[in-house]
Structure 1
């Protein structure tokens, strides 16, 4: 990353175990961002994970220049909003939460299309 920015992703030690960690990894890949992957043990959590997500102590956690972002969907939104549009130049999630039919939906409808009405 340019400008000395640092990205770290806390996830499970075994790849492919958590779909939520995979969501964060795919968003980072789509954006073309390099990051350091820090594997966590499910039963023996590190001090970094406990300090980064003190309430739930769960992964994934993205740490951007020392600032933790918890929960996979929030990580995707953060990558869209805070880190601009690298990669293909398009946001991962839609900017307008209103569908063409006029009904209001949440941004999570892009990730979970089954939730749309």
Structure 2
């Protein structure tokens, strides 16, 4: 199975010529990697006492950084993340750590009001159906 995975990753069209079903190989690789990740996640959760909402705040910070940076812009995402992290840490240093979330959402609201397209300023293309 490992040789099939390497072959499909290099050239899926050539694998079809040799009779290797590339869709089946991709599905099996996904199933195996997901199962291993699930087992690792369960074992880590048992060790560090995780809860179902463990990473939700980090997810929200990621969404805020994406909105600040602009959708579809890697450079904007980096600058948005740096701005958000810097503002949060400066607020924790100068004000109090309780204000970290409030600062993040105030920055989000300010960007949505004055610069809704983020740092990049690129509009997404409209698709007419």
For the criterion TM > 0.5, the same-fold answer is no
Greater share of helix: 2
Q: Which one has more relative contact order, counting CA pairs under 8 Å at least 6 apart?
A: 1
Q: TM-score, normalised by structure 1?
A: 0.32
Greater share of strand: 1
Q: TM-score, normalised by structure 2?
A: 0.30
